[in-house]
Amino acid sequence: MVATRDAVDKLVMGRDLTPYPERLVKSTPNSPHVLIVGAGVTGLVTAWVLLDRGYKVTILSNGFANFGKQRLTSQIAGALWEYPPAVCGSHTDTVSLAHSKRWCMTAYHAWDKIAADPIVGQAAGVRMMEEIRDSGVRGFRHVGTGLVGERDVEKSYQVGDAYEVLSPIIDTDQAMLWLTSLVLGKGASTVTENIADDLLDLEEGLLERFGADAIVNATGLSGSTVAGDKTCYPLRGALIRVINDGQDFPKVEAALTISADAALDGEIIFLVPRNDNILLIGGVAQPHKGTLDMTLDDPAIVRMRQRAEKFLPALKNARLDEDYPLAQGLRPCRGKNVRVEREIRRRPGADKSSRIVHNYGHGGSGWSLSFGCAADVLDLIEDALRGDEPVPMAESGVVVCPSCHVHIRSK
Ligand SMILES: Cc1cc2nc3c(=O)[nH]c(=O)nc-3n(C[C@H](O)[C@H](O)[C@H](O)COP(=O)(O)OP(=O)(O)OC[C@H]3O[C@@H](n4cnc5c(N)ncnc54)[C@H](O)[C@@H]3O)c2cc1C
Ligand SMILES: *[C@@H]1O[C@H](CO)[C@@H](O)[C@H](O)[C@H]1NC(C)=O
């Protein structure tokens, strides 16, 4: 159960945001202008939030959502909403965990509203679906070992406990195109360009060139190029795509996952329906592997498929999606988890603090955190425009509320 404290979202669909091209607050010639670098889910959702608040927005990116061979990481994602999100392994401290919980609840309610509107939900490729995990953390319905009978799970599989929650299922290709056209409809401009240096050195030039007042860094995993943060690293992942039309095996209608903390061998099970026709089989998590050259014969992929078949034997008959059998991508990880923070460094000789706001390092949870982080970015931009000094994220005074959730532990 989610208690009241978490339920108070800073950002509410309908109140602060609208999923239609009309803006909630129109911009005027005097509205501040924000340059967002990056057009993944983080950049686009941030753009949306700013546009509905009346800002002018330009999105500069070296890549946009596409159906080509290398899609954006945001398109590769399983995009299952998780609570609390597994960002890049375990959280380093209670403050970062508290941030993540708050962010993902805000995003939960936003995606829920998007899914609840029949027209918007369908256009966006977002719907609510049941998720069952073996972690037994907490849930809206405690399924327990009854899961085995209910969901065609292998009878001998050692299910200790299970719960079920209603969670958003997002068809990322569709959702990314929808988000792109939504922010364009609200008046964002786009520029295709690569940023090859530390943004801090480029700040003045970019602000001047675009007539912008602040910059958002939403470049995902650009540690090496948009230099400055050496703690960024890739956590490689891959998903097998099989046809889920009910012909080869009983259609899988719910996402079934066993998270890393609950898996016996430490290897996760991640079965997520993508849309009406495709089931994703995951999950691989390989830190510091930065190339996208995995094949279906890769031992990690073979093991991943075997694990899924051991769990749900009917999957042995699954047919691959011939057009796109294996999706792989690099989760943008960071030493100290997600960074939603103003730039603290000041350029030598500068008399004002930087007006860069960072929003990156979402690891395996960019979709789960999306709206939550964007709401904080909005606050940080307002601080920057007022000329306030930046405050490091760790000192931003988050309320840690340990009793917000009822925990149910597995045996
Ligand atoms: C296999 C897999 C499974 C996943 N499953 C889930 C899941 O179930 N749930 C979930 O929430 N998340 C999941 N994720 C994680 C999710 O994909 C990421 O957290 C999310 O996509 C991060 O979004 P982003 O916008 O920050 O980065 P990206 O999508 O990488 O976008 C970055 C943007 O910045 C641009 N850019 C980068 N560098 C530069 C530069 N130098 N100059 C200009 N532009 C630049 C890029 O072109 C791109 O537009 C998964 C990821 C993988 C790989
Ligand atoms: C912008 O984000 C990237 C991560 O994508 C990070 O490595 C880099 O340090 C950030 N830029 C600056 C100027 O901090």
* Higher-pLDDT residue of 266, 188: 188
**Once rounded to an integer, what is the mean pLDDT over residues 402-410?**
25
CA–centroid distance, 233 to ligand 1, in Å, is 12
Numbered residues of the known binding site: 73-74, 219, 331, 364
The answer for 211, left when phi > 0, alpha when psi is -120 to 50, beta otherwise, is left
Predicted pLDDT of residue 33: 98
| pLDDT tens string 48-85 | 999 999 999 999 999 999 998 889 999 999 888 887 77
Of 219, 224, 359, the residue with max ligand 2 atoms within 8 A of its CB, to mutate for a pocket test, comes to 219
Tokens of 222: 């650009």
Domain total of the chain: 1
Domain that holds residue 71: 2-410
Provide, rounded to the nearest whole percent, the portion of the chain with pLDDT above 70.
83
Binding residue positions for D-dopa: 331, 364
CATH (domain of 221): 3.40.50.720
Mean pLDDT, the chain, whole residue set? 85
Please answer whether residues 170 and 366 qualify as being in contact, where contact means their C-beta atoms are separated by less than 8 angstroms: no
Q: Look at residue 225 in the predicted model and tell me its pLDDT.
A: 54
Is there a contact between 203 and 354 (Cβ–Cβ < 8 Å)?
Answer: yes
The stretch 132-151 carries a mean pLDDT of: 58
Q: H-helix or E-strand containing 209?
A: helix 199-210
Across the range 1-19, mean pLDDT stands at: 72
Range in 27-36, 64-73, 251-260, 317-326 with the lowest mean pLDDT: 251-260
Q: What is the pLDDT of residues 195-217, one digit of tens each?
A: 988 899 999 999 999 999 999 99
Cβ of 222 less than 6 Å from ligand 1: yes
Nearest ligand 2 atom, CA 228 = 9
In this prediction, residues 282-298 reach a mean pLDDT of: 92
Looking at the CA of residue 343, tell me the nearest atom of ligand 2. Answer: 14
Q: How many CB atoms neighbour CB 18 within 10 A?
A: 17
Under the banding of pLDDT at 50, 70 and 90, the label for residue 223 is low
Tokens of 333: 């990880």
Q: Output the known binding site for FAD.
A: 73-74, 219
Question: What gap in Å lies between CA 257 and CA 131, rounded to an integer?
Answer: 7
Ligand 1 in reach of 223 Cβ (< 6 A): no
pLDDT tens readout for residues 13-26: 999 999 999 999 99
Among candidate residues 195, 220, 207, the one with its CA nearest the CA of residue 354: 207
Residue 224 predicted with pLDDT over 80: no
Mutation test of ligand 1: which of 62, 240, 291 has the most ligand atoms closer than 8 Å to its C-beta? Answer: 62
Grade residue 405 by pLDDT with cuts at 50, 70 and 90: very low
Please give the pLDDT value at position 132: 52
Calculate how far, in angstroms, residue 343's C-alpha sits from the geometric centre of ligand 2.
Answer: 10
| Residue 398: predicted pLDDT | 40
Count how many residues are written for the chain. 411
* Residue 242 beta carbon below 6 angstroms from any ligand 1 atom: no
pLDDT score recorded for residue 264: 58
Residues with Cβ within 8 Å of 312's Cβ and at least 6 positions away in sequence, in order, are 151, 152, 153, 154, 249, 252, 256, 271
- The tokens describing 255, both together, are 């996402």
Ligand 2 is surrounded, with C-beta below 6 A, by: 198-200, 217, 219-223, 226, 228-229, 232, 358, 360
Is the CB–ligand 1 distance for residue 78 below 6 Å?
yes
How many angstroms does the Cα of residue 289 sit away from the middle of ligand 2?
Answer: 19
Q: Looking at ligand 1, which atom is closest to the CA of residue 236?
A: 53
Q: Tell me: the pLDDT tens digits for 94-121?
A: 777 888 888 988 998 899 889 888 899 8
Residue 201 identity: D
State yes or no: pLDDT of 136 exceeds 60. no
For residues 332-346, average pLDDT: 90
Q: Percent of the chain scored above 90 by pLDDT?
A: 57
